[in-house]
Structure 1
């Protein structure tokens, strides 16, 4: 099965497809990808065997030139996580009025000319409620107008697929054929739990992610600790907790070190002795060694392995950029679970 990966980032969908191809009898081959971030491209280029596939670059510019689309190889499946900042609860939620929100519809000509059999796209869960459901309706109608007979979506959370991170994302699934599959999270979870052998990295809880010893630079200084661990400020009240068994959703801006109500922080007592300070009074907690995630741990929480991290570092990608890339990435296990359900369990390509 030939596929392309749009808005690829560091290739969460591609890694999922590669592992699925390795684990099953489904031969998945990438023929093109698009990404504009130069640092993500470094990580991508040093981790995948780029052998002749089209490098589409800026998808808006690429799809504005019909000749470029015509020169592409045909493909069966379009994968991608289209820009989510326009719909995120952490952003201004301008949605389709935001240039980033309009990018999805830039693939119109690509769908019209190449007519892929299947489309699987990912975005933040908030897109379902954005603009009182109007945004969702526009997206669903967009694919129906391109003659996709099956257009559906499902919300999947990474913590249900062997990655201890609360990360709920919506996945849109479109097919040129009428499908009778029951696309629910429970069915996808049940199928995932019954897979006999796979190449994914799986963790029971965040303690299996955290390294026992890390560089001192990851520890909170005494000066910043009071801000990070505080329960908000005069105009912003929050419940700050550390040492959570399941990590909060990683964000692309975690390098800025948000308060502990948004980001993930861990004490040495938790990491070394499994003694949680989740509900410890702040005046005691201020005296404890507390640190943030390392870039490697952030990538682990998204399902990437040590070789992937080492290859990125070898390519000259900084820790700052690796945090950003991990926060933007598709969780490998979640992508794998969905693709396995669609193409191995339900065999939608054979219907």
Structure 2
């Protein structure tokens, strides 16, 4: 039995990083042949499902769902799921039939600001929020492990009271041992400054430390589509090369990972005209910064700015990412990122099937969880220990 009195001790201090153990990249899974039964809510385009795909682990999708129909189209085009395993509105989803039949539950419920009426600071104070539904699903299906992801601002919102409500709900109402920390994707192999709050909950008491950060081996331009001469490209193989030894990439398809060098290989491709900025817009983007933003002259960043769901709005130089390209006679032009590049910067490779409009893809990428951060968590958890 879980000692709820002990769990009720609120600790708003973030869980420490694992800085002493073998690096998570080198860790081997204990049971690599096990099947992990997964359930997701607010599923988007399936970041955790894609993380398992990249790791080569076997999964069985028990349920998934999202209220956005474009997400449903993208999800069904990329993962093996039955029609009756998909829910559209989480309010109508009954998770009780999956009791003790889920190894891992993942969700990133949009968290509206909580209005604290009483002093319970738990499940009763989450009324009217989508987080309440996520907590209900945990309570109903009792997964062995869950991962909750949200914006990093949630941690300090309302002087920490909002996170106190959420963490106390996980502990008291759901009965889980939880660990939480803010992680930035630039520290886990993806050149994007994207800090998010991650909470990992275990049904049984366990010790857990979050995966240690690693140096990012890539810069944003390594994930770009168009050809640009320089040290990162090799025209003969028409792919991005991070070394002076292009033969190490020979024979690999776009989006594949070199098994010997553990590096990405992306084919270069033409970028559609609609992504190029007109002279007027380009001059606006290159103008001096304003208010709280740094100068918007910062293009071709090594670490991308956070990808937002409004990425398709191209007049937000303080937030969006712009890259330059060589025009004729050495004149530099400017363009925004393509949907494929945004997907790459979220950890999705080129085998991800794009079946919706560009506008929808921008929103889907901006709303997703970074796949590489999930991979680090799955390895640090050793999720295969919880499979069947």
- Most deviating of 134-143 and 205-214: 205-214
* Aligned partner (choices 276, 284, 289) of residue 227 of structure 1: 284
Aligned mates of 1:230, 1:136 — CA distance in 2: 39
Of 175, 180, 201, which aligns to 2:202? 175
Measured after TM superposition, the shift of residue 51 of structure 1 is: 3.8
Which residue does the alignment assign to 1:268? 325
The answer as to whether partners of 1:203 and 1:209 remain within 8 angstroms in 2 is no
TM-superposed deviation, 1:12: 0.6
1:28 is displaced (CA, Å) by 3.2
**Partner Cα separation in structure 2 for residue 266 and residue 122 of structure 1:** 29
**Is 1:10 the counterpart of 2:48 in the alignment?**
no
Q: Does 2:129 match 1:102?
A: yes
- State the match for 1:342 in structure 2: 381
Separation of aligned partners in 1, 2:140 and 2:77: 31
Correspondences of 1:96-175 after superposition (within 5 Å): 96-97=114-115, 102-175=129-202
Correspondence for 1:294 among 338, 343, 347: 338
1:249 deviation in Å?
Answer: 0.7
Counterpart Cα distance in 1 of 2:196 and 2:168: 20
Unaligned runs of 5+ in 2: 1-35, 117-125, 228-269
With the length of structure 2 as denominator, give the TM-score of the two structures: 0.69
- Secondary structure (helix, strand or coil) at the match of 2:332 reads coil
Between stretches 203-212 and 224-233, larger displacement belongs to 224-233
Q: Does 1:326 align with 2:383?
A: no
- Give the superposition deviation at 1:236: 6.9
Larger Rg: 2
Q: Deviations over 1:232-273 (max 9, x none)?
A: 45x77642111101111100001012432211001115x99x
Q: Cα–Cα, structure 1 residues 261 and 250, in superposed 2: closer, same or farther, change >3 Å?
A: same
Query: As a proportion of its length, which structure holds more helix?
Result: 1
Alpha-carbon distance in structure 2 between the residues aligned to 1:114 and 1:19: 26
1:229-268 equivalence runs, <5 A:
229-232=286-289, 238-240=294-296, 241-268=298-325
Q: Please list every run of at least 4 consecutive aligned residues from structure 1 whose deviation after the TM superposition is greater than 6 angstroms.
A: 98-101
Paired residues of 2:221 and 2:300 also in contact (CA < 8 A): no
Instruction: Pick closer, same or farther for the CA change 1:218–1:184 going to 2, 3 Å.
Output: same
Sort the Cα spacing of 1:324 and 1:47 in 2 relative to 1 into closer, same or farther, 3 A: same
The gaps in structure 1 that reach 5 residues or longer are: 63-67, 87-94, 194-201, 276-286
Distance 2:185 2:324 in 1: 24
Quote how far apart the aligned CAs of 1:319 are: 0.8
Q: How does 1:311-322 map to 2 (within 5 A)?
A: 311-312=353-354, 315=355, 317-322=356-361
For 1:145 and 1:100, the matched residues in 2 are separated by: 16
Corresponding residue SS for 2:382 = helix
2:177–2:201 Cα contact (<8 Å) kept: yes
CA distance in 1, matches of 2:200, 2:344: 26
Give the C-alpha shift of residue 96 in structure 1. Answer: 2.4
CA contact (8 A) 1:31 1:52 kept: no
Shift of 1:39: 0.8
CA distance in 2, matches of 1:307, 1:100: 40
SS in 2 for 1:225: helix
What is the aligned-residue RMSD (CA, Å)?
2.9
Give the alignment's TM-score, normalised by structure 1: 0.76
